[in-house]
A = this chain, B = another copy of it.
């Protein structure tokens, strides 16, 4: 179980779990074939993905839905609540803050930071916006392990470093730069411009090829 799991496998696991949620027969089973049909993948891929974490299917039957679901949750580390801080109370940050899916999956936003003096001290969604210099104190106090970083590119590195100093272990980064953090820190980048550019590339490519 100490083998390296690829990013694509993790994404698929997350997707399998999502698929299982529309599945409400108690005690039912699901085959790798069915699971594959709901995702955009193959039965063999499903089985290989799951096999990295032990063998919890029954041959001839498939996987027990309830068990698979809880196993996936355990594997993904969402069989608990993660305490998250929002850094950057701009439009995107606030939209995420109120995104119901986050809370529903156990990601609980417990603090908001923003360096805009006009915002500091005001209340947003039941939390008082704090100065980012308070991050270090607050992180310990509130048990913050994850940060959603939604600040302009110019400020991102500084805020990331501050979060790292505060003891945060993971960063969901919306700024379009590669953060420079110690290797023990996990960073996931969400680069919206990049996504649009990928679309633009695909569309232009089609045209070039006729």
A contact residues vs B (CB 8 Å cutoff) = 1-2, 5, 7, 10-11, 13-15, 17-18, 38-40, 75-78, 82, 91-92, 94-96, 98-99, 101-102, 105, 107, 145-146, 169-172, 176-178, 184, 186, 188, 190-206, 208-209
Contact = CB atoms under 8 A, between A and B. Distances in A.
Nearest to A12: B194
Contacts of A18: 176-177, 193
Contact of A102 (B99, B102, B196, B201): B196
Contacts of A99: 91-92, 192
Given A203-B145, A203-B169, A7 B198 contact: yes
6 contacts: A7-B198, A13-B201, A14-B197, A17-B197, A105-B193, A146-B199
Interface secondary structure of A, over-half rule: helix
Contacts of A208: 1
Given A94-B91, A208-B1, A199 B192 contact: no
Task: Please tell me how many copies of the chain the complex holds.
Answer: 2
Given A39-B178, A101-B176, A96 B203 contact: no
A44 B82 CA distance: 39
Nearest to A9: B201
B204 A195 contact: no
B15 A202 contact: no
